[in-house]
Amino acid sequence: MAFDGFNDQTLSRRAMKAELLDAETELRLAYAWRDQRDEQALHRLITAYMRLAISMAAKFRRYGAPMNDLIQEASLGLMKAADKFDPDRGVRFSTYAVWWIKASIQDYVMRNWSMVRTGSTSSQKSLFFNMRRVQARLEREAKARGETLDAHQMREMVAREVGVPLADVEMMEGRLAGSDFSLNATQSSDEDGREWIDALEDDRTQAAEIVAESHDAAAMRGWLATALGALNEREQFIVRERKLRAEPRTLESLGQELRLSKERVRQLEAAAFAKMRRSIEAQTREVQHFLA
């Protein structure tokens, strides 16, 4: 069912004029679509229940989305329901379609509410659509008991009621409190005022950190070179082949080349590493003594 070129009033009038299906006709159309992919049957089924889709879309107008867009999303949910409906289960199509229509509309509202991703889990989505209603009910109940709830108590009660962490309630409350603002907006009415983006912390590595890291890396390379130079020729060869190659060689291949057993090569490697470790520790102590 195409909706391009129609406003929501036109769509509503057309939907209200659509036929009402009895259970037998609905079942026959559902079988025709499922088993024979009869597009005329699908069209009748969708058209007959567009009034349901429009009625559900109207309930979400308070979220600021255009009614025509909400109807479009509701119709998509209705078509998904028709495609997945199994008439053998003995359930009326309208009952089955309600879930798909609601899910489609809610997904649209969540996608367009904010540039920031909101409600990525089912519990957060439930919180998004029910928090205001739950807060209003809790306030009425507290007032009836003669109590006054502060903001923290209200958040805790909402979290328990909806079954989500307190942090989710705090996050959602902030998201629902206002719309998005451009980071390029000025912080004051003055045209020469600083933009909000200028107040954000630069998370890139700072110059001082770059210099310190470069200095430390150079010092480490010097220590390693000194430690490697303290080894004999065979130990240097084993360390280079085992640790400094893009594809390290195996103990077995080195043993064959050096005419040694694999275990002997492993022992020489361990001894070489121990020498290098002692050399680096000694150099580190000298630096610490110099800085003390």
**162-180, pLDDT tens digit by residue?**
888 888 777 777 666 655 4
Residue finishing a domain among 113, 132, 163: 113
| Burial class for 1, CB neighbours closer than 10 Å (0-12, 13-18, 19+) | middle
Domain limits for position 170: 122-177
Domain of residue 214, CATH code:
1.10.10.10
pLDDT over threshold 80, residue 228: yes
pTM of the model: 0.47
- Based on the fold, state whether residues 127 and 65 are members of the same structural domain: no
Higher pLDDT, 255 or 18: 255
Q: How many domains in the chain?
A: 3
pLDDT digits (tens, 9 = 90+) for 138-157: 888 888 888 888 888 888 88
In a domain, 261, yes or no: yes
- Based on the fold, state whether residues 109 and 12 are members of the same structural domain: yes
Average pLDDT over residues 232-252: 90
pLDDT over threshold 70, residue 114: no
The secondary structure of 192-215 as a DSSP string is: TSPBGGGGS---SPPHHHHHHHHH
Q: What pLDDT band is residue 250 in, cutting at 50, 70 and 90?
A: very high
pLDDT over threshold 70, residue 254: yes
Location of structure tokens 């078509």: 79
- Based on the fold, state whether residues 105 and 13 are members of the same structural domain: yes
Average pLDDT over residues 116-140: 72
Q: Classify residue 252 by its DSSP letter.
A: H
- Based on the fold, state whether residues 153 and 219 are members of the same structural domain: no
CA-wise closest residue to 3 among 70, 84, 83:
70
What distance in Å separates the CA atoms of residue 260 and residue 253, rounded to the nearest whole number?
10
- Based on the fold, state whether residues 126 and 95 are members of the same structural domain: no
pLDDT over threshold 80, residue 286: no
In a domain, 190, yes or no: no
What distance in Å separates the CA atoms of residue 47 and residue 93, rounded to the nearest whole number?
13
Q: What pLDDT band is residue 1 in, cutting at 50, 70 and 90?
A: very low
- The average confidence (pLDDT) of the chain is 80
- Based on the fold, state whether residues 146 and 100 are members of the same structural domain: no
Higher pLDDT, 248 or 288: 248
Higher pLDDT, 134 or 97: 97
Write down the H helix ranges in the chain.
8-16, 23-36, 39-48, 50-58, 67-84, 93-113, 122-144, 151-162, 166-177, 207-229, 233-243, 251-258, 262-291
In a domain, 166, yes or no: yes
In a domain, 187, yes or no: no
